[in-house]
Amino acid sequence: MNNKIGWMRLKHGQWDLYLAATEKGLCYVGTQNEDFEDLEKWAKKRLPGFELIEDEKALQFYAKELIEFLDGQRRDFTAATALYGTPFQQSVWQALLQIPFGETVSYSTIAERIGNPKAVRAVGTAIGANPMLIIVPCHRVIGKNGSLTGFRGGLEMKSQLLELES
């Protein structure tokens, strides 16, 4: 898959998500309300010069792990990932990966964990740019007062994911 992004549409129960991977690993998990054009737009911005190729076979392992998670049979992901973003985004996404299954933290907690406690808004922006929903668990970040706040997939999807983990 050199300079190629393999993609597939995963339909499982109520879930309908686009997945994409480069030769380095899974790089994109979309939301319930996204379509193929959203994946194309992301790919052009993050991986210019790469070609999107539908390749369900190459993404089966990633799909299997996601299905197991959505069915309540998996807590952690073992598949290779490839996160494409700025160094700041990368630091935020790595902090998200440290949030244990079934737990939540605030945006300010993430800002503190990356050593930049005043960057709460920037942290929120980086979380909003997370290209791998579910895998990089941005759904586990909530408002300081415990309320559900912003989520690229919508608050209903965020609520469903948190319920899955409870």
Computed on alpha carbons and rounded to an integer, the radius of gyration of the chain in Å comes to 15
Q: Which two tokens stand for residue 82?
A: 């490839």
Instruction: Give the angle subtended at the CA of 120 by the CAs of 31 and 113, to the nearest 5°.
Output: 90
* Token pair in block for residue 103: 């737990």
Query: According to DSSP H, which parts of 10-117 are helical?
Result: 36-46, 60-70, 87-97, 107-113
For the chain, count helices (H), then strands (E).
6, 6
What are the respective helix, strand and coil percentages of the chain, to the nearest 5?
A: 40, 20, 40
- The residues annotated as belonging to the active site are 138
Residue type, 100: P
